[in-house]
Amino acid sequence: MSKGNTTKITDELYAYMLAHNPPLDAVQQELVETTYAQLPDYAGMQSAEEQAPLLAFLVRLVGARHIVEVGTFTGFSALAMAQALPADGKLIACDVSQEWTAYGREAWAKAGVAERVELRIAPALDTLAAMPREPHIDFAYLDADKVNYIAYWEELVPRMRPGGLIATDNVLFHGRVLDPEAEGAPAAIRAFNDHVAKDARMDSVMLTVADGLTLSRKR
């Protein structure tokens, strides 16, 4: 087996890549810095910098008007997606933390997109289960607790409209998906990846973006 391109992503090459992507705007950059300053022990949960323009690009690509995000943290990814929505678009942000999402609320207001984001503080499975069952979601971003990934997936997929897209983060889980002895989150991600690969309802591709990103399109 050959993996083809063997480019090593050095710090310099990573900086070069960021320099050739759309830059973070002032509100996005401030939110990133605030997250690292105020929540240093948890800031690694924030989506990577290059994922913000990628998510915005995907939102525009599919013409999304209805987005669901499972796992919002401090709102960086939600901010990027909400900014890419049309004025009448809506993003349902699912999280359980008032404290962490408060940073997002402030950023969404500063960016002028607060009216596009509906934050629902509750277990995401409850929020998803309460949504209309018919296909209506254009785009979904899954980046929450890993042990429930399959359960979230099974709530999202029936609600995705044909051609709708799910982006799932952390599918490589820091490389620990390769460890057959690893339990908890790595084992859950392994099971999720196998589940997605076998799901005939979706066309999926796994990418080595950040900590691994799977894009899945509803057939």
Amino acid at 7: T
For the chain, give every domain's residue range: 11-218
What tokens were used for 166? Answer: 């799910």
Cβ atoms of residues 185 and 174 within 8 Å: no
Mean per-residue pLDDT, 153-161: 98
Report residue 2's pLDDT band, with 50, 70 and 90 as the boundaries. Answer: low
Mean per-residue pLDDT, 94-115: 98
Strands 213-218 and 160-169: antiparallel
Task: Please name every residue paired with 68 in a beta bridge, in sequence order, or none if there are none.
Answer: 92, 140
Per-residue model confidence as pLDDT tens digits over 37-89? 999 999 999 999 999 999 999 999 999 999 999 999 999 999 999 999 999 99
DSSP per position, 92-146: EEEES-HHHHHHHHHHHHHTT-GGGEEEEES-HHHHHHTS-SSS-EEEEEE-S-G
Q: How far, in Å, are 40, 130, 138, 166, 168 from residue 24 at the CA level?
A: 20, 34, 24, 23, 21
3-state percent helix, strand, coil for the chain, nearest multiple of 5: 45, 20, 35
pTM (global) more than 0.85:
yes
Q: How far apart, in whole angstroms, are the C-alpha atoms of residue 121 and residue 101?
A: 9
The hierarchical CATH code for the domain 11-218 is 3.40.50.150
Cβ atoms of residues 74 and 35 within 8 Å: yes
* Average pLDDT, rounded, for the chain: 96
What tokens were used for 91? Answer: 């993003």
Find the length of the chain: 219
Report residue 7's pLDDT band, with 50, 70 and 90 as the boundaries. Answer: confident
Q: How far apart, in whole angstroms, are the C-alpha atoms of residue 187 and residue 215?
A: 20
Q: Nearest 5°: phi and psi at 155?
A: -80, -35
What tokens were used for 168? Answer: 């799932």
